[in-house]
Chains A and B, each alone.
Chain A
Amino acid sequence: MALLDIAGLSVRFQTNSGLFTAVENVDIQVDHGDVLSIVGESGSGKSVSMLATMGLLPWTAQVSAERMAFDGQDLQQLGSRQRRRIVGGEMSMIFQEPMSSLNPCFTVGTQIDEMIKQHKGGSRRERHERALELLAQVGIPDPARRIKAYPHQLSGGMSQRVMIAMAISCDPRLLIADEPTTALDVTIQAQILELLLKLQEEKGMALILITHDMGVVAETAKQVIVQYAGRQVEQQEVRSLFAHPRHPYTEALLSALPERAAGQTRLPTIPGVVPGQHDRPTGCLFNPRCRYATEHCREVEPVAAPDDPARTLCHYPLGRPDAEPSSGPSPGVSPETSSPLRPEVRP
């Protein structure tokens, strides 16, 4: 049984101009000790689906799912008290902006202590010892001094380390990291990722890493889910995803990696932006930005083929013999004329 088992998750927001569907029909399975990455641009609903799992969305959000279970317990059925036992204790989360994610009014020690007190209890002294140990574990120099520091006295990298210390303080079985390195310096990014992976391995916890950086995915994940405009467009094991992307969006993301653009004068980009509430195209949501889009793509919404393990949300998945739109209506652009780049697996 998967540790986190989500099926058919949809999230809608009440806005002044009606309901906005931020996430639609997303399935996520994470096993014990697994590392899953959810990739996509801003606005693809990566964070929203995880915030929904944690129960952290504002009241304007309507969450529905066929199944939303953590370790066999249905999160939708749990009362708020029971759910709070899981959230923070067994399933914890760190966020994109470490500097603003810590409460400016309390010391680092108080904020870690509060978490331990909530889920583990123990005497004041025990909790203090534990907090010191955690700070050392996440690589904060001089924990005895830092534990008394206020968040504004810490750098972004240090704040994220504190957030990680707090998140792992109760030995969660699942850690969700929502773009944990986006707001940090490049040099710090690598350190934080390394730390997350080291802790994941040591503690045997599962890790969900939300990112828009394919480079991060390559270095960390085992499984990858690619999301676009609130939908899951592809799901693969990391090596085969890099070797044989199935969805044109995945392919486009991969070819935008600087490493892959070696020799080219310009870094390839994906033209346009993720559609918002008011500019949703008909048919496939990716069609206005897709280099392979046909008339058929513009008219009919794709569904994943039942026999496709990657569950590619595309009429013409790449890398398959039947990918040519021979059976579809007359194509506007032939895939042969713009044959897809074949990306190699990164070393």
Chain B
Amino acid sequence: MTSQTLTMFKFILVKLAQLVPTFIGVTIVAFAFIRLLPGDPILLMAGERGISAERYAQLQAQFGFDRPLPVQYWEFLKGLLHGDLGNSLVTHSPVVHEFFSRFPATLELSLFALTFAVIIGLPAGVLAAIRRGKTLDHTVVGISLTGYSMPIFWWGLLLIMFFSGTLGWTPVSGRISFMYFIEPVTGFMTIDTLLAGDWGAFLSALHHLILPAIVLGTIPLAVIARQTRSSMLEVLGEDYVRTARAKGLSSYRVIMVHTLRNALISVVTVIGLQVGLLLAGAILTETIFSWPGIGKWMIDAISRRDYPSVQGGLVLIAFIVMIVNLLVDVAYGVINPRIRH
């Protein structure tokens, strides 16, 4: 047991070391990306009134924009290593604070979307694989292809029009009805309402989550269903599945234990890859549903050329995606003994 834990520990250390160059690459891209965009944050701040040349130079010196780019990058990197991403040019509060005050909203939405995608996508893929070539299979394949090809913003608007507009079942936007005020503790509305013991607020929060979670989860759902199906089909043809049948096991056991366990290896990888896409998709979904998460915040920061917010936000998002991928690699090792040893 101890040797196994040790192997796992080494495995994680190696993976962490591999992340370092990726992370440095990300900082360069994040730093350069926003500066490559046309537009000047100071001119944007000044607005239509314009700004005098002296004041402009003064502000440039204040924010450090007058220094050479490599020096600016170095300062950014130094701050990053100390956990300081600078202050937002717009709100003047620390970027880290701005980011993490909004991140729970995005995380909550993404988790619900991913749960929705896995709960529907995994069984759909398994069923399609066992009923290969039958109506159910064709239905699953057809629907997932449609889901995958659907533009998120259009799909979101359609759902809002139908469920919120025509039927009036779900709210159009926001995280919770304005009747309720919930003191943020964890930042997760569903958890905070429960902590506050307000059942009505909890239901309202769930109610607000349904549509955005479905919209954000649609593409991952389609990807997971397709991957599960093809992976199951591949594994069903393996010799060891025949061995499992030859043992006289029930078809339930053959499929759920011997086939699904092996099929999951590639499905878990795909689910992990979806996390990056979820954060990207959150930007559109949050904009459609006015969801106060990091997606919407990033869009605002970009349009204001808020350099520290954009580069800091990008680095943090990239960091989170990398950590999730690391966790996926670890999970992969747990599922697949050939990786672990």
Query: Which A residues have a C-beta under 8 Å from some C-beta of B?
Result: 54-56, 80, 84-89, 92-93, 95, 97, 100-106, 114-115, 118-119, 150, 152-153, 163, 166
Contact B337 A150 (CB under 8 A): yes
The 5 closest A-B pairs by CB, nearest first: A88-B248, A100-B239, A84-B248, A103-B240, A88-B247
Contact A104 B262 (CB under 8 A): yes
What residues on B are CB-neighbors of A92 within 8 Å?
Answer: 246-247
B238-259 interface (Cβ within 8 A of A): 238-240, 242-251, 258
**In the complex, A168 Cα to B26 Cα: how many Å?**
57
Contact A54 B243 (CB under 8 A): no
Contact B240 A102 (CB under 8 A): yes
Contact A101 B249 (CB under 8 A): no
| B97 adjacent to chain A (CB < 8 Å) | no
| B49 adjacent to chain A (CB < 8 Å) | no
| B335 adjacent to chain A (CB < 8 Å) | yes
Look across to chain A and name the residue whose beta carbon is closest to the beta carbon of B240: A103
Shortest CB distance A118–B (Å): 6
Contact B248 A152 (CB under 8 A): no
Look across to chain A and name the residue whose beta carbon is closest to the beta carbon of B245: A56
B18-73 interface (Cβ within 8 A of A): none
Give the size category of B's interface with A: 20 to 34
Shortest CB distance B10–A (Å): 18
| B115 adjacent to chain A (CB < 8 Å) | no
**In the complex, A102 Cα to B315 Cα: how many Å?**
44
| B261 adjacent to chain A (CB < 8 Å) | yes
What residues on A are CB-neighbors of B250 within 8 Å?
Answer: 84
Shortest CB distance A99–B (Å): 9
**In the complex, A54 Cα to B247 Cα: how many Å?**
10
Of B239, B249, B258, B337, the residue contacting A97 (CB under 8 A) is B239
Look across to chain B and name the residue whose beta carbon is closest to the beta carbon of A59: B132
Known: A100-B238, A100-B239. A105 touches B335 (CB 8 A): yes
**In the complex, A104 Cα to B261 Cα: how many Å?**
10
| B82 adjacent to chain A (CB < 8 Å) | no
What residues on A are CB-neighbors of B244 within 8 Å?
Answer: 103
Of B246, B251, B262, B341, the residue contacting A103 (CB under 8 A) is B262
Shortest CB distance B316–A (Å): 36
Of B242, B245, B248, B336, the residue contacting A105 (CB under 8 A) is B336
Shortest CB distance B109–A (Å): 33
B320-341 interface (Cβ within 8 A of A): 335-338, 341
Look across to chain A and name the residue whose beta carbon is closest to the beta carbon of B132: A59
Contact A95 B247 (CB under 8 A): no
Look across to chain B and name the residue whose beta carbon is closest to the beta carbon of A166: B247
Contact B248 A119 (CB under 8 A): yes
What residues on A are CB-neighbors of B238 within 8 Å?
Answer: 100
- Can you list 24 contacts pairing A with B, beta carbon distance less than 8 Å? A56-B246, A84-B249, A84-B250, A87-B246, A88-B249, A89-B248, A92-B246, A92-B247, A95-B239, A100-B238, A101-B239, A101-B242, A103-B240, A103-B243, A103-B261, A103-B262, A105-B261, A106-B261, A114-B249, A115-B247, A150-B337, A150-B338, A150-B341, A152-B338
What residues on B are CB-neighbors of A56 within 8 Å?
Answer: 242, 245-246
Contact A163 B243 (CB under 8 A): yes
B203-249 interface (Cβ within 8 A of A): 238-240, 242-249
Shortest CB distance B336–A (Å): 7
Contact B243 A95 (CB under 8 A): yes
**In the complex, A152 Cα to B258 Cα: how many Å?**
16
